[in-house]
Every structure is written in structure tokens, then in C-alpha cells.
Amino acid sequence: MKLQRKSGLRALAVGAAAVSGALVLTACGSDNNSGSSSPSTGASNAAAGSIKCGSKGNLLASGSTAQQNAVNVWVKNYMQACPGTQINYKGTGSGAGVTEFLQGSTAFAGSDSALKPDQIAQSKKVCGGTGQAIDLPMVGGPIAVGYNLPGVSNLVLDAPTLAKIFNGKIVKWNDPAIAKLNPSAKLPSTAIQAFHRSDESGTTDNFTKYLIGAAGSEWPYSGGKAWQAKGGQSAQGSSGVAAQVKQTAGSIGYFELSYATAGSIPTVAVDTGASQPVQASSDNASKMIADAKVVGTGDDLSLKLDYATKADGAYPITLVTYEIVCDKGNKSATLGATKGFLSYIAGSGQQGLSGQGYAPIPAEINAKVRSTIDALS
């Protein structure tokens, strides 16, 4: 069993490296999001030349693992163009990232959930003067529900059925509720092994927001970054959940689409009540984000998503990752580097995301993000 687990983790790590490598090529080499062509040296140099470097120094940040693959590429590209800046982003999970930021340990945090009012109040102790933390939406993407069920492809599930699976009320793959949604599938009587995050996670927060919004009473929990349902099995980070699903027959779990792509893990199509079930894809997540509303006040740009959407082609289990930073009172030693890096990822860094399972932030919202970054002080 230990050997099998190590093999599964190794395979996923190799796949993730391939995805990150492909995204580097896409971001550096072309405005075409397909990522199907290799960049020329001239194209790479042009992309590097488009980055306006901030001040030199060391930049520490941490948080969301959902954006980890994108951040790895952004950091590599920025540091190549700006060799005087060292950026260290730790994928600790959204909860840990926000905690470290509020302790003053990092210049910014990545979080798949917007700050709560008490966290904004707490941030005033970290942001000097009259400053406070704000949420800047930077990258979106679908939360894929990956599964490992040999012999079954094109699996369709809806919100109530997913809620029952992850709440331990549906325990066999040939349950009538699953069979009704998949009339042509030969479903085995295999026991379902549902995996969730062990760490506090914005991915968990958004996945359970979807269940609350779309499954109603079938998900009797308040939601949040910590997993609340009983039973199931846990793993650290999105990469850990994806690795467990990849190596465990009869399993199901939730993680960002980039991890499913990296591990060649099949994903569930969600029956939303639209004309047909919706697949997890960058384009379908973009349709979901496009209808989001800005609900933050002042410079805060936190968004509200409609998890119960029935719009054709809109994938409902979608998250937005925010970069959390002080609007005023940032440390002078890191302010220039922070603005330089955030300006890049909100600008040309958005190119190439969709080809790797991420959804760029819609242009209207992104324009506000860039303007807010310019005004950071």
C-alpha cells in the first residue's frame, strides 16, 4: 500500500510538472490560450520585456493551493524578467495564508475566499496608518469533482446527489440516485470512498457554498474553510486529494481542474437543470464568473457568485482566488516589488490561463483590479 501511494503521488507530481511547464510555454510564447504551439525565443523575450519590474528585494507570500500552478509560472516569469527580486510563494492553503498575512509575516496572501469583516478589522493592525486589507480577484477556475471508477466514463451528478455522497448518505456507486442520472452506465456495487481536504481551504469553502446554494437541506452544514461533514477520508492540499483519487478505485474528491488535468483524472459533469449537464472547463467557469457581482466596498473587490445558476454552459462549482494586500500602509521594503508583481499577474499574466484549466478574470473586473494595484501605497 505504501508503495502504491508513493507511485500515485509520484505520477501526479510528474503530471503537475508537465502542466506547469506547458503553462510557462503558453504564457511566455503566445497570446493564443490553446498552448498548442511552442514559443520562439523572440516571443519569450517579448513576454519578459512586457513586465515592468518593481523595486528589488525579497517578497514572501503564501496561501491558496488552487492558484499554485499559475503562481509557479508567474513567479518564474517575473523573476526571469526582474532578477533583482526574489519571490517565495508557499502553497499552505487559504486559511494558513490569511493567518500569516494577518500576523504580518507576508506581503500578500492568496485566498479562495474573500476576507470576513473580523479579518478586515484585524488587518488594520498590520496595515500601517489608515490602511486595511482588500481582496483583489486574480484568477478563477472550476473546482472539478474527480472520480476513479474503472469502466464508467461521462459520469453525471447533481447537487443533491453530490451532497449525499459527501455526507455519507449514498455509499455505493450503483445507488438508485446515481443510476437515475446515468441510465446508460454500468455502475458497479463498489463502495464509494469520498476524499476531502484535511487543511482549512478556500476550495472546501467554495465547494460547500455550492452544496449549500444548490443542494438545499441535503447539505445541513454552515460551510467554511474547514470540512464539517462526518465520515469520508481526508488529504492535505488539492494535490493530496487528487493523488488519493487517482490511486484509489471507487473514490471521488474535489480539487481544481488543473490537478485533474495533471493527473489525467476523469471529472463529473454537473446537472444544473440547464439544457444539458455542464463539464468543468475554463470557458464554462468564465461564464459563471462573468455574472458575478462586486460586493466589496471601497477598494475591496470581493465577488458574489450564483452557485445555483441554471444558465446554459455555466459551470456552478467555480471559485475565484483573491490576492489579499493592504490598500495603504504596506511595508516600504516590499511595496514596490508587491505592486510590480501584482501588476504583472493582473496584466499579461492573465494570458495563457484558460489553456491550463484556469479562468482569467473578466475584463471589466480586471480593469478595476489593475487600477486598485496602481493606487496601493
Q: What average pLDDT does this structure show over 172-191?
A: 97
Alpha carbon distance 353, 289 (integer Å): 15
**C-alpha distances out from residue 345 to 51, 136, 339, Å:** 9, 11, 10
| Predicted pLDDT of residue 355 | 72
Tell me the residue type at 300.
D
pLDDT tens digit string along 309-347? 999 999 999 999 999 999 999 999 999 999 999 999 999
pLDDT tens digit string along 29-57? 223 333 332 222 233 333 444 899 999 99
User: Edge-to-edge strand order for the sheet containing 318-326?
Assistant: 85-90, 57-63, 108-111, 318-326, 133-148, 251-256, 193-197, 233-235
| Predicted pLDDT of residue 358 | 87
Alpha carbon distance 67, 112 (integer Å): 9
| Predicted pLDDT of residue 127 | 97
Tell me the residue type at 316.
P
Report whether 77 contacts 52 (CB < 8 A): no
Q: What average pLDDT does this structure show over 236-251?
A: 96
The pLDDT mean for the chain works out to: 87
**Exposure on the CB side of residue 347, measured as CA atoms within 13 A:** 19
Of 91, 365, 147, give the one whose Cα is nearest residue 265.
147
User: Is 37 domain-assigned?
Assistant: yes
User: Is 289 domain-assigned?
Assistant: no
User: Is 125 domain-assigned?
Assistant: yes
User: Is 120 domain-assigned?
Assistant: yes
Residue with cell 508587491: 338
pLDDT tens digit string along 64-73? 988 988 999 9
Report whether 304 contacts 295 (CB < 8 A): yes
Tell me the residue type at 254.
Y
Which residues, other chains included, contact 99 with Cβ-Cβ below 8 Å and sequence gap of 6+? none
Helix (H, G, I), strand (E, B) or coil at 290: helix
Give the residue with greater pLDDT, 366 vs 202: 366
Kindly report which listed range (80-84, 133-137, 284-288, 357-361) carries the lowest average pLDDT score.
Answer: 357-361
Q: What average pLDDT does this structure show over 57-84?
A: 93
| Predicted pLDDT of residue 258 | 84
User: Is 45 domain-assigned?
Assistant: yes
User: Is 80 domain-assigned?
Assistant: yes
CATH code, domain with 83: 3.40.190.10
Alpha carbon distance 157, 104 (integer Å): 43
Of 106, 102, 107, give the one whose Cα is nearest residue 125.
102
Alpha carbon distance 198, 301 (integer Å): 29
| Predicted pLDDT of residue 353 | 85
Of 142, 56, 64, give the one whose Cα is nearest residue 108.
64
Give the residue with greater pLDDT, 270 vs 3: 270
In the predicted model, is pLDDT for residue 80 greater than 80?
A: yes
Residue with cell 488552487: 66
Kindly report which listed range (82-96, 198-212, 348-362) carries the lowest average pLDDT score.
Answer: 348-362
Kindly report which listed range (36-50, 181-195, 290-304, 337-351) carries the lowest average pLDDT score.
Answer: 36-50
pLDDT tens digit string along 107-127? 999 999 999 999 999 999 999
Beta carbons within 10 angstroms of residue 297's beta carbon: 10
In the predicted model, is pLDDT for residue 267 greater than 90?
A: yes
* Number of independent structural domains in the chain: 1
Domain that holds residue 37: 22-136+327-374
Alpha carbon distance 344, 29 (integer Å): 16
| Predicted pLDDT of residue 46 | 34
User: Is 344 domain-assigned?
Assistant: yes
User: Is 179 domain-assigned?
Assistant: no
pLDDT band at 82 (very low <50, low <70, confident <90, very high): very high
**C-alpha distances out from residue 321 to 65, 81, 245, 315, Å:** 10, 24, 23, 16
Helix (H, G, I), strand (E, B) or coil at 255: strand
Task: Label the pairing between strands 193-197 and 303-304.
Answer: unpaired
Helix or strand holding residue 137 (H, E): strand 133-148
Query: Cα–Cα–Cα angle for 345, 351, 357, nearest 5°?
Result: 100
| Predicted pLDDT of residue 60 | 97
